Amino acid sequence: MMEVPWWKTAAGTGLGLLAIGLLAYQTCMDNSCIDQSDSFFLTNREDQPAPARHARDLPQKKYTFRPSTLERDLDFNISGTDVIVFLHMQKTGGTSFGRQLVTNMDLERPCQCRRGQKRCQCYRPGTDRDIWLFSRFSTGWSCGLHADWTELKDCVPDMMDKKEKQPKKRRYFYITMLREPVARYLSEWRHVQRGATWKTSRHMCDGKMPSEKELPSCFDDNWVGVGLDEFTDCPWNLANNRQTRMLADLSLVGCYNTSRVSQEQRNRILLGSAKTNLRRMAFFGLTEFQKKSQYMFERTFKLKFIEPFEQVNGTTAGRTPISEDKKRKVVELNALDIELYDYAKDLFLQRLERLKQHDPDYYDYVDEEVGNW
């Protein structure tokens, strides 16, 4: 067997260490998040399990976070130059949440939504040009269909300048919704089975789209009628660990070029980056906790929704019976997302508990028990 030249081995190892180093010293985008001092290391204390606690000392925490990470006290100014940027991941309830943002907000100047039009005009009070919300239902897919974190961070500032027709310094507050990974994956499979493709997504990274070699397609025109076995068997299926990939900085691992670092290193870097970006976002909600997500958003941004959110548990994914073997395969394919969601849920509920401790009116807004940790 031919030996691999020493310089190729060294180069590959060097790239992997460089990516890990970049992740370790990764900083937030200028004025885009709230924990600016929150540097990330692969052995970061905020990624470590919390010390064991007495059984009666509930709710049980899995991770330890800094107080600054748990605090939800932003100075978002809708009349200034602040912009909420909604990162919409497929099958996480983002469509419903996105509509709530443009149709259900109690604002001095509500978004103007006209029947038959897909977008609403969400201008600041006193202006007919300045925008406070960057999302599918306000600005459209301006940075690409279901643009991920990597695409948005490079695109949003320039796109906002174009839309407002002037360069301006703004603060960007990123938000997103996450969903339990197995249910999300099955929901995406059923959606693709019915004809969804998202073929026009650009997947921009470091200024370019991935080549066909870097990101082959699992189908030709569409994947209508695809069975679960075929869906899980395609190694390039972007449904696998979608939430981790869409929240991570893909430039840290060479974008879609999987030859830069080993798969193990790539997974480790992507998961670490996704956790960091999620932690630094101004807000994230969980599909399984609609009313709590509404409460968290309102307390974070000091904005109010007109009508309460509804929890819909009878989803297509929930009505999809699959064998234990197939479920095990789905779990294996989404191992990164499962760890990310576990981390996100713990952080979300710790933030909620902190808010609850300082809010005597909590149960007036959230009419459900906080015992589902």
**Structure letter (DSSP) for residue 108:** S
Rounded to 10°, the helix 335-357/290-301 angle is 60
Strand order, beta sheet including 82-87:
133-134, 82-87, 171-178, 283-286
Structure tokens at 241: 């660990």
- Which residues 6+ apart lie within 8 Å of 228 measured at CB? 186, 189, 322, 326
Structure tokens at 295: 């409460």
Name the catalytic one among 54, 88, 146, 203. Answer: 146
Q: How far apart are CA 223 and CA 197, in angstroms?
A: 7
Instruction: Indicate if 203 belongs to the active site.
Output: no
**Structure letter (DSSP) for residue 43:** T
Q: How far apart are CA 304 and CA 294, in angstroms?
A: 9
DSSP string, 294-362: HHHHHHHHT-EESS--------TGGG----HHHHHHHHHHTHHHHHHHHHHHHHHHHHHHHHHHT-TTH
Active site residues: 146
